[in-house]
Chain A
């Protein structure tokens, strides 16, 4: 048990180092730092596609983080940095894709599937109830009751 606790504590402590980033960035003001933090959360690392720039230590992610800082230093706004990335890597670089004709299925597909599934389940249940009602006639019911009452 003691071993277990020690292991748990060590693993928990290690999890912090996994979060830590390699570079330390210097920012001119708090707004810039805030923008940077939001941006690297929202932008995708193109190499390890299920990570954002904040999580990834791929070389390209490091370069893109540096690029984000440089753009902010030059006075770009958050939107301008995002536009800069989209101009080079396409919409895919954003973790939250924009609502466009090509992404309609992505945005509303799950809702549509939810309603289809709901419809199928409800109609299935209704059918079951109907077939349960149709199963025996009134006569048969009375017969069943009389048989049961005899007991």
Chain B
């Protein structure tokens, strides 16, 4: 009996460790998938006396990208966002998270602005509503305003081609 049990137990343990150790502990499963994007109404970074809202984007597939000037990896994904914006395939809305307006505006004018507009979340409350725990984070939101995917960490061209753009195209084909 134990002649069989031992190797089986050993194999089970190997499988458990193999799966367990290859998981990314930073990847907190998002509870927002297939849930409506939380509402926000915030000042527009490009013109602070105007308000912007998630409702402005109803009827469109869009990316909601959480960024800040203090976020180092946001800088590394910035040129990928620029390239994506240049294709015109999907509009990107920015959430300038716990940042100051002046450096954020400078960032956009110096590095380029891939966003159709940016919402200012100086106190991070909208961030909490979206379950943001690290920047950058990117949500893919469909025509009905439902979150369909969340990408944690910087977007690289490879991920853009392999996961994000295919989903965007699929969602654009859906009925609004």
Q: Which segment of A8-16, A21-29, A85-93, A141-149 sits at the interface?
A: A85-93
- Contact (Cβ within 8 A) A88 B2: no
The size bracket of the interface on A is 10 to 19
- Which of B81-116 touch A at CB < 8 Å? 98
Among residues of A, the one whose C-beta sits closest to the C-beta of B2 is A123
- Contact (Cβ within 8 A) A88 B31: yes
Pick the most buried of A63, A88, A89, A116: most chain B CB atoms within 10 A of its CB. A88
User: Interface digits, A35-67 against B, CB 8 Å rule (1 contact, 0 not)?
Assistant: 000000000001101000000000110011001
How many whole Å from B132's CB to the nearest CB in chain A?
8
Main secondary structure on B side of the interface with A: loop
- Contact (Cβ within 8 A) B130 A88: yes
Residue of A64, A86, A120, A124 near B128 (CB, 8 A) is A64
Q: Which segment of B22-30, B56-64, B138-146 sits at the interface?
A: B22-30
What is the bound-complex CA distance between A64 and B6, given in angstroms?
47
The size bracket of the interface on B is 20 to 34
Judged by a CB distance under 8 angstroms, whether B133 is at the interface is: yes
B residues neighboring A (CB under 8 Å): 1-2, 5-6, 9, 25-26, 28-31, 98, 123-125, 127-131, 133-134
A-B contact pairs, 29 of them (CB 8 A): A46-B28, A49-B25, A49-B26, A59-B124, A60-B124, A60-B133, A63-B98, A63-B123, A63-B124, A63-B127, A63-B128, A67-B125, A67-B128, A86-B31, A88-B31, A88-B130, A89-B131, A89-B133, A90-B28, A90-B29, A90-B30, A90-B31, A92-B28, A116-B9, A119-B2, A120-B5, A120-B6, A123-B1, A124-B2
The total of interchain contacts (Cβ-Cβ below 8 angstroms) comes to 47
What is the bound-complex CA distance between A86 and B30, given in angstroms?
10
Residue of A89, A116, A123 near B31 (CB, 8 A) is A89
- Contact A89 to B28, CB < 8 A, known contacts A47-B133, A63-B128, A67-B128: yes
Main secondary structure on A side of the interface with B: helix
How many whole Å from B15's CB to the nearest CB in chain A?
12
Among residues of B, the one whose C-beta sits closest to the C-beta of A88 is B131
- Which of A86-144 touch B at CB < 8 Å? 86-90, 92, 116, 119-120, 123-124
What is the bound-complex CA distance between A67 and B129, given in angstroms?
11
**For residue A47, which residues in chain B have a CB less than 8 angstroms away from its CB?**
133-134
